[in-house]
Structure 1
Amino acid sequence: MADLDIVNARRPRQFRRIDRQTDEDNDEEVRKRYRFTPHNIDRLERLIGHRLERPTRRNQPLTPRQQIMIALRFYATWNFLQVIGDTLGVDVATVSRVVTAVTDCIFDTKDSAIQFPTTDRHRHRTKTGFHAIRGFPSVISAVDGTHVRIQTPSEDEEQYVNRKHFHSINVQASRDHRGVFTSINAIWPGSTHDAHVFWTSELFHFMETHHHGLEDGILLGDSAYPCKPYMLTPYLHPANEAQQHFNDAHCSTRNVIERAFGVLKRRFHILHTEIRMKPLKVSKIVVCCVVLHNLAKLWGEPEEFPPDDDQQPPTVLNHDDDMSGKAVREYITMQYFS
């Protein structure tokens, strides 16, 4: 996204004080504005602040902390860059550059902040947590998709129109029993079906390569996904009481991902409205918000943002399901829900 050109002589920038002595005196007020308390903003500054340092002190450059707080304010609201700049006393071109720089820094931490359970210890802890929800065995992640609205793109416009007839990015994610996201795929236009997003994801390739049985864990997905040995979907037409019990437990357990999307969009309102940026920039912002969500969970930030019921019923297609996937589903049904 190009910075805006300022044709007039630059006026001296007047910064609102966003440091400890003023806005950061009240932890709760700061958390409402920036989604993190001052203590956890300290942590975020230690994590990425060194990359935001400016090599010169000329022209009163923004400190790393100020840059981080400008970006957090942008993610936390649906305000335009101009509004953010006016609120914090920074010109819109600076806000644009700051959001880009901070987004790039947070995006680069994704591999350490978003981790799928790959070790025996991690898988065991996750399976235990999911089992406690509704007695469903061997679950290591719940998978689902959501749409993030974007402005009409200038290229391949029709590819971004989803089934609800608005332009969007189709975001696939998985999460664990704690509400921590364990994978994210935010690169596909809104018209892309959830199953295709899954088939092209790193999560799919990891499970295809590393899954050898129930001990390796399974994913739960809705009927938009194919039933595989490592991806169990509900029965479309349960034929008996055991299959209905399976569906009920599957739904209750998988709902953690729907609730996670709701909390994510309430915490970072930028994902709850039309993002007026190019698709690639939007994809990075989505990943950044997921990283920040995981850090908020890790650092003990409360979730006082009610889940948003914006989930859409999946389009049910006739998938070429792996017969062994159906066999695994039938085995679990008979062993645990009959």
Structure 2
Amino acid sequence: MDAHVIGILRRRNYISESSSSSDEDWEVDLRKKRIQKRVRIINYIDVVDRYTDYDFKSHFRMSKVTFQYLLQIIHQDLIRKVKGCPTIPARQQLMIALWKMATMDSYRSICDRFDVGRATALRAVRRVTHAVFKRSARFIQWPSGNRAITVMKGFEEASGFPRVIGAIYMYIYLQLICDHRTLITHCYSGYPGSVHDQRVFRQSEVADFLNDDEKFPTDSHILGDAAYELHQHLLTPFRDNGHLNERQNNYNYRHSAARVSVERCIGLLKGRMRSLLHCLPMSRVDLMAEYIVACCVIHNICTLRGDEIDIVILPSLSEENVTDDNVLHQPRQNIAVYKRNLIMDSLIRR
């Protein structure tokens, strides 16, 4: 073998300095190197199996049982189906992706922890993200039928506010709606950046839902803060100008009590997927949207399985950039105002 090639292989640690230059010795050293790499992967997986439930959850933000359930769902999408270099095990790919989602570590730190190259870690995160994103329609569903009735009962029992089918919230790059159990029923992340809530709302599917009475059985509604426009199916609080009467204050109190679920939902989501606490270090908007939706799907899976996590305390709901009228124009305005006043008069006072 050429001495120049031998020098390159030695500098890259493929062969030792003491190895001879013969082809046979080089091939033996290379096989040993590959075996050692496989042993490191196996040993790492064995270490994960020896984690206690508490330690595993503190690292990956979910229990071992939920991890195995998620792996079973997406396992086939993480296996290479064409000829080429073998990929790292599906289990390790999921661990890398969860570590990226659940921490604010850089890829450099993740590569060092999992003993993989940057390209391998990046592909693992993208592959897992896409696999989870493909299951979003299965785990993120708008409530209908008996489930819608259950959601309305849950909100009314918790807050006294009637016929609530969900609460809507906008936080930086994510707009979501959740039910009384903090289960996400709709999410929209296609408009990243600092944009007013109402503008993002107009771009989302929920703006079309408001004109579809089938989405809101028994004249139900979602609840939003004062940044949204009042609508027959989207009720907002009365703007506090210092002159609200007792009934209006009571309405705002019940309204806020019902919307606590969406604040808790955001806190749970960001407590589990801590990479969402700040702006994502991603340049491709399409991949960013997939990543955020995948985090929401994982949140729903954990919620459905009762896999709890600590809540991140968020600032109180903002009511900045509130319009003076905060209502839609005719003809919806009169209907929405009448409905809000009717609910205000029917609420039990504190």
Secondary structure of 1:142's aligned partner: strand
What code does the residue aligned with 2:47 have? T
What code does the residue aligned with 2:307 have? E
Over aligned residues, Cα RMSD in angstroms?
2.3
**Is 1:99 aligned to 2:99, yes or no?**
no
Within 5 Å, give how 1:188-267 maps onto structure 2: 188-210=191-213, 215-237=218-240, 239-267=244-272
Within 5 Å, give how 1:293-308 maps onto structure 2: 293-308=299-314
- Tell me which moved more, 263-272 or 236-245: 236-245
Q: CA deviation at 1:89?
A: 0.8
Partner of 2:171: 146
Partner of 1:118: 144
What code does the residue aligned with 1:298 have? L
Q: Does the 8 Å contact 1:174/1:257 carry over to 2?
A: yes
Secondary structure of 1:332's aligned partner: helix
Q: CA deviation at 1:9?
A: 6.4
Q: Deviations over 1:252-304 (max 9, x none)?
A: 11121122112211111110123211133222211111100000011121222
d(CA) in 1 for partners of 2:343, 2:179: 20
Q: CA deviation at 1:326?
A: 1.1
Q: Does the 8 Å contact 2:167/2:223 carry over to 1?
A: yes
Partner of 1:153: none
Residues 1:241 and 1:211: Cα distance change in structure 2 (over 3 Å): farther
**How many residues are aligned here?**
307
d(CA) in 1 for partners of 2:184, 2:61: 17
**Is 1:327 aligned to 2:338, yes or no?**
yes
What code does the residue aligned with 2:148 have? R
Residues 1:104 and 1:236: Cα distance change in structure 2 (over 3 Å): same
Within 5 Å, give how 1:126-137 maps onto structure 2: 126-137=151-162
d(CA) in 2 for partners of 1:271, 1:50: 27
Q: CA deviation at 1:81?
A: 1.1
Q: Does the 8 Å contact 1:211/1:230 carry over to 2?
A: no
Q: Deviations over 1:226-257 (max 9, x none)?
A: 11110000001363111110000101111211
Q: Does the 8 Å contact 2:209/2:215 carry over to 1?
A: no
Residue among 67, 72, 82 paired with 2:108: 82
Q: Does the 8 Å contact 2:56/2:64 carry over to 1?
A: yes
Q: Deviations over 1:115-152 (max 9, x none)?
A: 11122x011100111011120000010001001xxxxx
Q: Does the 8 Å contact 2:226/2:319 carry over to 1?
A: no
Identity of aligned residues (%): 27
Q: CA deviation at 1:67?
A: 0.8
Secondary structure of 2:189's aligned partner: strand
Q: CA deviation at 1:53?
A: 0.9
Partner of 1:161: none
Residues 1:296 and 1:211: Cα distance change in structure 2 (over 3 Å): same
Partner of 2:24: none
d(CA) in 2 for partners of 1:188, 1:263: 22
Q: CA deviation at 1:192?
A: 2.2
d(CA) in 2 for partners of 1:226, 1:190: 21
Residue among 268, 271, 280 paired with 1:275: 280
d(CA) in 1 for partners of 2:216, 2:176: 23
Ranges in structure 1 where 5+ consecutive residues have no aligned partner: 1-7, 148-169
d(CA) in 1 for partners of 2:43, 2:310: 27
Secondary structure of 1:15's aligned partner: helix
What code does the residue aligned with 2:258 have? T
Q: Does the 8 Å contact 1:243/1:337 carry over to 2?
A: no
Partner of 2:321: 315
Partner of 1:286: 292
Q: Does the 8 Å contact 1:234/1:246 carry over to 2?
A: yes
d(CA) in 1 for partners of 2:344, 2:192: 36
- Tell me which moved more, 323-332 or 26-35: 26-35
TM-score normalized with structure 1 length: 0.84
Secondary structure of 2:227's aligned partner: coil
Within 5 Å, give how 1:17-28 maps onto structure 2: 17-19=43-45, 21-25=46-50, 26-28=52-54
* Higher helix fraction (1 or 2): 2
Q: Does the 8 Å contact 2:165/2:216 carry over to 1?
A: no
Secondary structure of 2:211's aligned partner: helix
Secondary structure of 1:145's aligned partner: strand
d(CA) in 2 for partners of 1:241, 1:287: 41
Partner of 2:31: none
Secondary structure of 2:190's aligned partner: strand
Partner of 2:27: none
Within 5 Å, give how 1:57-68 maps onto structure 2: 61-68=87-94
Residues 1:59 and 1:9: Cα distance change in structure 2 (over 3 Å): farther
What code does the residue aligned with 1:291 have? V
d(CA) in 2 for partners of 1:310, 1:266: 16
Which structure has the larger Rg? 2
d(CA) in 1 for partners of 2:84, 2:216: 61
d(CA) in 1 for partners of 2:144, 2:215: 13
